[in-house]
Structure 1
Amino acid sequence: MTTDTPAAPPGLAGRSGSPAVRPRDRVALLVLLTASFTLAVDFSILNVALPRIGSEVGFGLAGLQWIATSFAVCAAGFTLFFGRCADLFGRRRQFLTGIAVLGAASLLGGLAEAPWMLLLARVAQGLATAAVTPAALSLLTTSFPEGPMRRRALGLNGALMAAGFTTGAVAGGLLTDLVSWRWAFFVNVIVAAFVLVAGPVVLQESRSSERVRLDVPGAVTVTLALVTGVYGLTQAGERSWGDPTCWGSLAVAGALLAAFVVTERVVARPLVPLGILTRRAVGWGNLAGVLAFATETSVVFLLTLYLQEVRGYTPLQAGLAFSVLGAGTVLGGLAAPRVIGAIGGKRAIVTGFAVQAAATVALVFLDDVAGWPALLLAATFLGGVANLVAIVGFMVTATSGLPDSEQGLATGLATMSQQVGITLGTPVMSAVATAAGAATAAGAAAAGRVLHGVEVALAVNAAACVAAALVCAVALPATRKESLA
Structure 2
Amino acid sequence: MAVMLQASGTSAPVSRRPAPPAWLVVTLACAGQFLVVLDISVVNVALPSIRTALGLDAQGLQWVVNAYAIAFAGFMLLGGRAGDLYGRKRMFLVGLGLFTAASLAGGLAQEGWQLLLARAVQGLGAAVLAPSTLTLVTSAVPEGAARARAIATWTAVGAGGGAAGGFVGGVLVDSLSWRWVLLINVPVGAVVLAAAALWLTESRAGDRRRLDLPGALLVTAGLGTLAYGISQTEAEGWTAPATVVPLTAGVLLVAAFLCVEARAREPLMPLRLLRLRAVASANVAMFVSGAAMFCMWYLMTLYAQNVLGYSPLEAGLSLVPSSLAVVLGSKLAPLLMPALGPRAVAVLGTLVATAGFGWQSTMTADGTFLTSIMFPGILMMLGGGLAGTPLAALATSGAAPQEAGLVSGLVNTSRTMGGSLGLAVMSTIAAARTSASTAPEALTAGYALAFRTGAVVLAAGAVMMWLWLPRKAGAAH
TM-score interval (norm. to shorter): 0.7 to 0.9
Q: TM-score, normalised by structure 1?
A: 0.84
Any conservation in 2 of the 1:356–1:383 contact (CA below 8 Å)?
Answer: yes
Gaps of 5+ in 1: 8-21, 439-443
Q: Which residue of 2 aligns with 1:175?
A: 172
* Alpha-carbon distance change, 445 to 101 in structure 1, aligned in 2, over 3 angstroms: closer
Q: How far apart are 1:435 and its partner, in Å?
A: 4.8
Quick one: which of 431, 452, 455 aligns to 1:462? 455
Residues of 2 paired with 1:60 and 1:431: CA distance? 16
Q: Which residue of 1 aligns with 2:383?
A: 386
Q: Does 1:3 align with 2:3?
A: no
Q: How far apart are 1:40 and its partner, in Å?
A: 1.5
Task: Give 3-state SS (helix, strand or coil) of 1:400's partner.
Answer: coil
* Alpha-carbon distance change, 226 to 361 in structure 1, aligned in 2, over 3 angstroms: closer
Q: Does 1:472 align with 2:462?
A: no
* Alpha-carbon distance change, 117 to 335 in structure 1, aligned in 2, over 3 angstroms: same
1:138-179 deviation digits (Å, cap 9, x = unpaired): 323444455544433333233222322232222222212212
* Alpha-carbon distance change, 251 to 481 in structure 1, aligned in 2, over 3 angstroms: closer
Quick one: which of 165, 183, 200 aligns to 1:186? 183
Bigger Rg over Cα: 1
Residues of 1 paired with 2:445 and 2:405: CA distance? 44
Greater displacement, 192-201 / 219-228: 219-228
Q: How far apart are 1:210 and its partner, in Å?
A: 4.5
Residues of 2 paired with 1:138 and 1:231: CA distance? 33
Greater displacement, 422-431 / 298-307: 298-307
Any conservation in 2 of the 1:215–1:270 contact (CA below 8 Å)?
Answer: yes
Greater displacement, 167-176 / 233-242: 233-242
Q: Does 1:135 align with 2:132?
A: yes
1:52-107 deviation digits (Å, cap 9, x = unpaired): 44665x55547665544433332222112222222222221111111112222223
Q: Does 1:328 align with 2:316?
A: no
Amino acid at match of 2:331: L
Q: Which residue of 1 aligns with 2:342?
A: 345
Q: TM-score, normalised by structure 2?
A: 0.85
Q: Which residue of 1 aligns with 2:35?
A: 38
Q: Which residue of 2 aligns with 1:317?
A: 314
* Alpha-carbon distance change, 64 to 226 in structure 1, aligned in 2, over 3 angstroms: closer
Q: Does 1:28 align with 2:47?
A: no
In the TM superposition, 1:59-458 aligns within 5 A as 59=55, 61=57, 67-113=64-110, 118-144=115-141, 147-211=144-208, 213-233=210-230, 244-367=241-364, 373-374=370-371, 376-436=373-433, 446-458=439-451
1:394-420 deviation digits (Å, cap 9, x = unpaired): 222212210111111111111212222
* Alpha-carbon distance change, 432 to 131 in structure 1, aligned in 2, over 3 angstroms: same
Any conservation in 1 of the 2:278–2:470 contact (CA below 8 Å)?
Answer: yes
Residues of 1 paired with 2:470 and 2:287: CA distance? 18
Q: How far apart are 1:239 and its partner, in Å?
A: 7.9
Task: Give 3-state SS (helix, strand or coil) of 2:453's partner.
Answer: helix
Q: Which residue of 2 aligns with 1:18?
A: none
**RMSD, matched Cα:** 3.4
Residues of 2 paired with 1:250 and 1:243: CA distance? 11
Any conservation in 1 of the 2:300–2:373 contact (CA below 8 Å)?
Answer: no
Residues of 1 paired with 2:285 and 2:163: CA distance? 21
Task: Give 3-state SS (helix, strand or coil) of 1:48's partner.
Answer: coil
Any conservation in 1 of the 2:41–2:298 contact (CA below 8 Å)?
Answer: no
* Alpha-carbon distance change, 129 to 45 in structure 1, aligned in 2, over 3 angstroms: same
* Alpha-carbon distance change, 100 to 369 in structure 1, aligned in 2, over 3 angstroms: closer
Gaps of 5+ in 2: 1-9
Q: Which residue of 2 aligns with 1:19?
A: none
Any conservation in 1 of the 2:350–2:458 contact (CA below 8 Å)?
Answer: yes
Any conservation in 2 of the 1:292–1:391 contact (CA below 8 Å)?
Answer: no
Residues of 2 paired with 1:263 and 1:392: CA distance? 31
Residues of 1 paired with 2:234 and 2:106: CA distance? 24
* Alpha-carbon distance change, 48 to 224 in structure 1, aligned in 2, over 3 angstroms: same
- When the two structures are aligned, how many residues end up with a matched partner? 463
* Alpha-carbon distance change, 447 to 411 in structure 1, aligned in 2, over 3 angstroms: same
Q: Which residue of 2 aligns with 1:12?
A: none
Percent identity between the two aligned chains: 36
Any conservation in 2 of the 1:72–1:423 contact (CA below 8 Å)?
Answer: yes
Task: Give 3-state SS (helix, strand or coil) of 2:11's partner.
Answer: coil
Residues of 2 paired with 1:448 and 1:302: CA distance? 15
Any conservation in 2 of the 1:79–1:413 contact (CA below 8 Å)?
Answer: yes
1:351-388 deviation digits (Å, cap 9, x = unpaired): 11112112322333454999762464223213211111
Residues of 1 paired with 2:237 and 2:192: CA distance? 40
Task: Give 3-state SS (helix, strand or coil) of 2:178's partner.
Answer: coil
Residues of 1 paired with 2:124 and 2:258: CA distance? 24
Greater displacement, 415-424 / 323-332: 415-424
Q: Which residue of 1 aligns with 2:5?
A: none
* Alpha-carbon distance change, 179 to 431 in structure 1, aligned in 2, over 3 angstroms: closer
Any conservation in 2 of the 1:78–1:226 contact (CA below 8 Å)?
Answer: no
Any conservation in 2 of the 1:366–1:372 contact (CA below 8 Å)?
Answer: no
